[in-house]
Amino acid sequence: MAERENSSGKGKLLDLDGGDPKKRPTGAHPVASAPGRSTGLHPAASAPTSGKTGTNPAFAPLAPSKTGSHPAARPLPPSSKTGSHPAARPLPTASLPAVTGPASSAPREPTPFQKAQLSSAFQGAREAQSKAVLARTLGKTAAPLFSDDEDEATAIGVAYDGENPAKELVNRDLWKAVQAPVQSREGRRSAELYQTVINQFAVGKNPRYENDAPDKPRGHIFVWDVSRAMNCEIPHFAGAKELSLGQTVDWLRHEGPMRGWTRASVEDAHQQAQAGMLAVAIPRDLKIKQLAVLLPDEETSPDGKPYAAAAGKVRGNRVKLTDALGVFAIDCFVHL
C-alpha cells in the first residue's frame, strides 16, 4: 500500500497494492485518510480483504451445506429395527419343573370342607360350620336341626277343636302380635292345615276377640292373627299407626291387590279356601265395615254361602257368612 497525492492537494490517498490501479481489487474503494480525523470505519471494516472476490473476511458467508442453507442436522442413529422406540427386551421364560410324581387318572378325593359345600345346593360354608358347632354342642342324640317334614300340621301332635284356644293366643294386649303354634306357608297349603290354623284361635271363646263395645267388634284383630299364621299378613299397623276395623277393610280393598290379594266371588273364594288358601270376606257396601274368614268346609249354609269364622256381628268359629257380616252382598279377597 502506498500514499499518493490527491488531485485537490488537500489530502493524500491510500492506494492499495502499491498504487497500481491495475492491481487494485475490484470490490474495494480507496479510503481517504484526512489528517487529524479518523476514517469512521469499524475496525473490522479496515481489515485487509482476502481472496480475489474482494470481500471482507469478517463478513464472509458460511459455506452452504450439501442439504441446504443451514448446516445439516446429524441424524440420530436408529434405536431399533422395529420402530422409533427401543425394542423391549424379552423377559426370560422360566420353564416349569416337570412333575415327577406318579401319574394317576383316578379323581381326587374331596376334602371334608368340599363335602360340606356340596352337601346342599343352598348351603353355604357358614351354615355348614354353624351346623357342625351346634351338633358338637348338642351331642349326637339331638334332634335334626333341619327337617324336610317340618311345618306339617301333624308334626306338633296337638289337635284344636275351635273351642279352646292355644295358650299362646289369649293375650289381651291388642297391640302385641301373637305367635301361632300352627302355621301354613306358601307351597304347603292344604284344607286340613288351613282349618287347624283357624281352630287354634277359637275366636268364639277367646277373650282376645271380645268386643270393645256393642258396636265395636274386633274382627280386624282376628283377621290380623289368622293372616300372620298363614304368612300373608293383613296388617294391624301402618307404620306407627294402629289401624281400626274400618281402616283395615279399606286397606284390604285398596292396598290388598298390590300385596298379593285377588278379588273373587264368594263361590271362587270358597273353592280356593278348600285348597288351603286364605279367603277373607267383606261387605260390598263401602259404608259397612266387617271382616270374616271363610272356612274350607265343603258344606254350605242354607243360603248357599260357605260358613265362616268371625268376630263381627256374630262371633264364632263356625257361623253363617251373612250373619257374620250382616249383609247379603259380599266381596271376597284370596291370597294365592
Of 201, 167, 171, 170, which is closest to residue 183 (Cα–Cα)? 201
Residue 173: domain span: 163-335
**211 lies in some domain:** yes
- Give the best-scoring range by mean pLDDT among 30-39, 115-124, 273-282: 273-282
**Does 290 have pLDDT greater than 70?**
yes
List the one residue out of 18, 30, 28, 23 whose CA is nearest residue 54: 28
Number of domains in the chain: 1
In a domain, 17, yes or no: no
SS3 content of the chain, % helix, strand, coil (to 5): 25, 15, 60
Whether 101 maps to a domain, the answer reads no
Q: Average pLDDT of 30-59?
A: 45
In a domain, 169, yes or no: yes
- In percent, the amount of the chain with pLDDT more than 70 equals 55
3-state DSSP assignment of residue 198 = helix
In a domain, 239, yes or no: yes
pLDDT digits (tens, 9 = 90+) for 125-162: 456 566 665 555 555 443 433 334 444 444 445 789 99
| Contact (Cβ atoms closer than 8 angstroms) between residue 333 and residue 279 | yes
Task: Calculate the alpha carbon distances from 79 to 8, 18, 57, 72, 74 in Å.
Answer: 74, 62, 42, 20, 15
What value does the mean pLDDT take over residues 19-37? 47
Closest CA to 48 of 32, 33, 27: 27
Distance CA 156, CA 183 (A): 11
Q: Which helix (H) or strand (E) holds 294?
A: strand 292-294
Cβ contact 174:243 at 8 Å: no
- What's the confidence (pLDDT) of residue 159? 85
Is residue 100 in some structural domain? no
Greater model confidence, 17 or 335: 335
Q: What is the pLDDT of residue 42?
A: 47
Residue 33 has pLDDT above 90, yes or no: no
185 neighbors 287 (Cβ within 8 angstroms): no
Mean pLDDT computed over 241-247: 96
Pull the grid cell for residue 158.
296337638
Is pLDDT above 60 for 242? yes
* 75 assigned to some structural domain: no
Q: Tell me how far CA of residue 77 lies from CA of 54, 83, 87, 225, in angstroms.
A: 42, 12, 14, 91
Give the residue with greater pLDDT, 77 vs 123.
Answer: 77
Cβ neighbourhood burial of 98 (10 Å; 0-12, 13-18, 19+): exposed
Q: Identify the pLDDT of residue 105.
A: 54
CATH classification of the domain holding 286: 3.90.1720.10
Flag whether 41 is in a domain. Answer: no
For residue 241, the cross-strand partners are 238
And the C-alpha cell for 114? 368340599
Calpha distance 146→136 (Å, rounded): 16
Written as one letter, the residue type at 218 is R
88-101: pLDDT as tens digits: 666 666 555 555 55
Q: Are 170 and 206 in contact (CB under 8 A)?
A: yes
Please write the tens of the pLDDT for every residue from 301-314.
Answer: 999 999 999 999 99
